[in-house]
């Protein structure tokens, strides 16, 4: 059985044709245990008969065969939750090796910088893995010497041609990264801003009690660094490009224990919209991905994070725990040429939790 994840199928199906072609951005083969091995998956267009599709956000399509992709084939629609309702299915990707056939979108001949990787659990690593598998050449930064011990081996697995330190609070370090991009690659096609920070003593306080120093640091590292990256990337994105950052639902709604990071993320999301408006005429697209809770080193700084994760996914329509790899597939699509015409978006990847009332 072939399992296909599609970001949004709303309005994708014409009613006046007996059959039609559907461009699928994510394609993964699933075994009976619900895990992906990528074997035998094909790239390209998938034909399907009219009448079997309904409007879904994040839907699953299970086809009996892809042996002849040039002819219409019969199929059935199931929600993602139903498709994953197999032994071992209610779980995100396990970060196994991603193969080039896992992602239909191509990032061949594209160069991308990944900022904010800390270890193999980082969202940034999940994005880097998928983008590399899709054909991109990847550059990676690490915070300091301590972080290099964990990041460099991962970057080497990705065959990264740029591996550099980058502490956005240190004058000149971010600029050196972009200087190296210009020297080694000559241009830049996409970047991921996966950087957020607030001093722990302020992060645990009520918003009303946060210090000016703590607030300034959080805004500088989490928001203004993205603005600086956009400014430095603009002259290098000679063929257009894509800037991606990460947020969370706490940037729009009050989430228990998210505290000061809520308004910080709100500022980041609004920044995305203004950058998209300003850079659109250069062909540079800007997006914010808002995943559901993912256990990373940064998340460990939030009080009762594990409890929050369990509660949110228990209430989410899909009850599916989003993985770093899932974020990677979405980011790869946004960075690809298939996503032209999209910019300034806040895109949820949280199994539908954002639609639920309290």
Report the catalytic residues: 248, 258
Q: Within the chain, how many helices (H) and strands (E) appear? A: 10, 13
The closest alpha carbon to 222, from 198, 243, 202, 205, belongs to: 198
User: How many whole angstroms separate alpha carbon 90 and alpha carbon 92?
Assistant: 7
User: How many whole angstroms separate alpha carbon 110 and alpha carbon 187?
Assistant: 9
Are 211 and 217 in contact by the 8 Å Cβ rule? The answer is no
User: How many whole angstroms separate alpha carbon 283 and alpha carbon 26?
Assistant: 24
Q: What DSSP assignment string belongs to 292-351?
A: -----TTGGGSTTHHHHHHHHHHHSSS-----HHHHHHHHHHHHSGGGTT--SEEEEEST
Are 159 and 132 in contact by the 8 Å Cβ rule? The answer is yes
**Contacts (Cβ under 8 Å, ≥6 apart) of 197:** 217, 218, 221, 222, 298
């Amino acid at each position: 059985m072939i399992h296909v994840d599609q970001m949004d199928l709303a309005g994708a199906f014409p009613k006046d044709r007996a059959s039609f072609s559907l461009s699928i951005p994510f394609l993964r083969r699933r075994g009976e245990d619900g895990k992906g091995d990528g074997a035998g998956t094909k790239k390209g267009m998938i034909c399907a008969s009219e009448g079997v599709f309904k409007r879904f956000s994040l839907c699953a399509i299970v086809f009996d065969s892809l042996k002849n992709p040039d002819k219409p084939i019969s199929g059935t629609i199931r929600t993602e939750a139903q498709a994953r309702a197999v032994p071992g299915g209610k779980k995100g990707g396990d970060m196994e090796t991603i193969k080039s056939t896992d992602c239909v979108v191509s990032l061949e001949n594209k160069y991308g910088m990944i900022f904010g990787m800390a270890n193999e659990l980082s969202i940034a690593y999940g994005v880097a893995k998928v983008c590399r598998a899709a054909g991109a050449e990847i550059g990676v930064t690490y915070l300091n010497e301590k972080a290099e011990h964990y990041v460099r081996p991962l970057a080497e697995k990705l065959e990264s041609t740029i591996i550099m330190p980058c502490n956005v609070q240190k004058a000149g370090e971010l600029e050196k990264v972009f200087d190296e991009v210009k020297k080694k690659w000559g241009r830049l096609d996409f970047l991921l801003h996966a950087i957020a920070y607030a001093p722990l003593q302020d992060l645990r306080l009520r918003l009303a009690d946060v210090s000016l120093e703590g607030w300034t640091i959080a805004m500088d590292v989490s928001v203004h660094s993205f603005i600086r990256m956009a400014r430095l990337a603009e002259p290098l994105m000679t063929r257009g490009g894509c800037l991606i950052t990460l947020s969370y639902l706490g940037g729009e709604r009050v989430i228990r224990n998210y505290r000061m990071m809520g308004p910080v993320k709100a500022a980041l999301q609004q920044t995305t919209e203004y950058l998209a408006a300003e850079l659109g005429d250069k062909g540079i697209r800007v997006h914010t991905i808002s995943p559901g809770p993912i256990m990373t080193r940064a998340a460990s700084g939030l009080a009762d994070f594990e409890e929050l994760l369990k509660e949110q996914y228990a209430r989410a329509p899909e009850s599916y725990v989003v993985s770093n790899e899932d974020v990677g597939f979405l980011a790869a699509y946004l960075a690809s040429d298939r996503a032209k015409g999209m910019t300034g978006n806040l895109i949820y990847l949280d199994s539908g939790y954002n639609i639920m009332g309290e």
